[in-house]
Amino acid sequence: MGLREQTMRTVYEVSGRHDEPDLYGGPPGDPGLCGGPTSVSWEVNGDLGAVATAGVAAIVLEILHPSVVAGVQDHSNYRRDPFRRARTTMGYVLGTTFGNTAAATRLIDGVRNRHATVSGARPDGHAYRALDPKLLAWVHTCIPWMVMTAFERFNRPLTPAERDRYLAEQAVIGRMSGADAVPESIAELTEFVAEMRPKLAVTEQTRTFIDFLLTAPFLPPLPGPLDAAAHHFYVRAGMTLAPEWARKMTGLELPSPLHPWATGAYLQGNARMIRWASEVPPHVALATQRFGSTAHDAALNAVAHGNAPG
């Protein structure tokens, strides 16, 4: 098995293939929810390296809200199936961006229906429910925020207008999920994060989830203490995409000498390797086939931007 095939087998094992024709194919010319091949979302979320690399930071930011982590601890089976959340999150991001309009809408409705029964009380007695519009806004925002950050760091800088367009396109998905006040620009994102920060905390449940991340089988096992060191580096490197306050809050900081190496060599190398190995991901190929040859070629060229491993 060659390097390209081995790389993608590892990615698919963790994140799934996402190659369903019924979701990504569909009526000719259907732009889906985010605007089709000319959208910023198709370029950014079409970079599988950026989406995959953003995962750790996005998940940790989400569970910094005590109500979110309480729902995860009370209703999730992440310990029995550690890759399930990665597969479903990746599927949601890709399906809602590249899926045809009807199928992407069904995907969102399905997630809302499953979350309708997710409710309970946090250890501090505060009631929570998964369909709380403010919680949905936070969970939604963490994903495009970190994917955009990874794309800009490991692919190309976006213009201010492109950043705003990307957030506005992704906000459609957040609103359809039931979220309120979803940021549609960098200015609104900055304001929203500042509003949410006083509500975030590291609770015992948060620490339990982070401890799981630091031992989960995301990496090939290594002998003895090397295994723990590799997992700690993997999670802390992923958190370099998150803002400094989140790294300090969670204690997931790297020593200063390792920070440039983690971002410049390890994460960038992973992102570029995945982008190279995936070539044109199956969901992108299926989705762009809805648009005829001209749009199809333009979309593939955008996704292939920087498509080399070294």
CA angle 181, 199, 140 (to 5 degrees): 40
Cα separation of 132 and 31, whole Å? 29
Looking at residue 8, what is its pLDDT? 87
The tens digit of pLDDT for each residue in 74-126 reads: 998 877 776 777 788 899 999 999 999 999 999 999 999 999 999 999 999 99
Which residues fall within 8 angstroms of residue 126, CB to CB, at 6 or more apart? 66, 67
Tell me the whole-structure pTM to 2 decimals.
0.90
Average pLDDT score, the chain = 89
The burial of 44, by beta-carbon neighbours within 10 Å (0-12 exposed, 13-18 middle, 19 or more buried), is given as buried
How high is the pLDDT of residue 171? Answer: 98
Interatomic CA distance for residues 294 and 210, integer angstroms: 46
- The string of pLDDT tens digits covering residues 145-185 is 999 999 999 999 999 999 999 999 999 999 999 998 899 99
Mean pLDDT of 11-18: 82
The per-residue pLDDT for 226 is: 73
Per-residue pLDDT, 218: 64
Q: In degrees rounded to 5, what are phi and psi of residue 119? A: -155, 170
Q: Are 23 and 107 in contact (CB under 8 A)?
A: yes
- Predicted pLDDT of residue 17: 87
For residue range 193-248, what is the model confidence (pLDDT) as tens digits?
999 999 999 999 999 999 998 887 766 666 667 777 877 888 999 999 999 999 99
Q: Identify which of 187, 185, 146 has the alpha carbon closest to the alpha carbon of residue 167.
A: 185
- Give residue 186's pLDDT: 98
Q: In the chain, what percentage of residues exceed pLDDT 90? A: 67
Which has more pLDDT, 268 or 80? 268
Residue 50 has pLDDT above 70, yes or no: yes
As a whole number, mean pLDDT of residues 68-72 equals 96
Three-state SS string over 28-67 comes to CCCCCCCCHHHCHHHHHHCCHHHHHHCHHHHHHHHHCCHH
Q: Does residue 293 carry a pLDDT above 70?
A: no
pLDDT of 257 > 50? The answer is yes
The mean per-residue pLDDT over the stretch 271-298 comes to: 80
pLDDT band at 302 (very low <50, low <70, confident <90, very high): low
Average of per-residue pLDDT across 124-144: 97
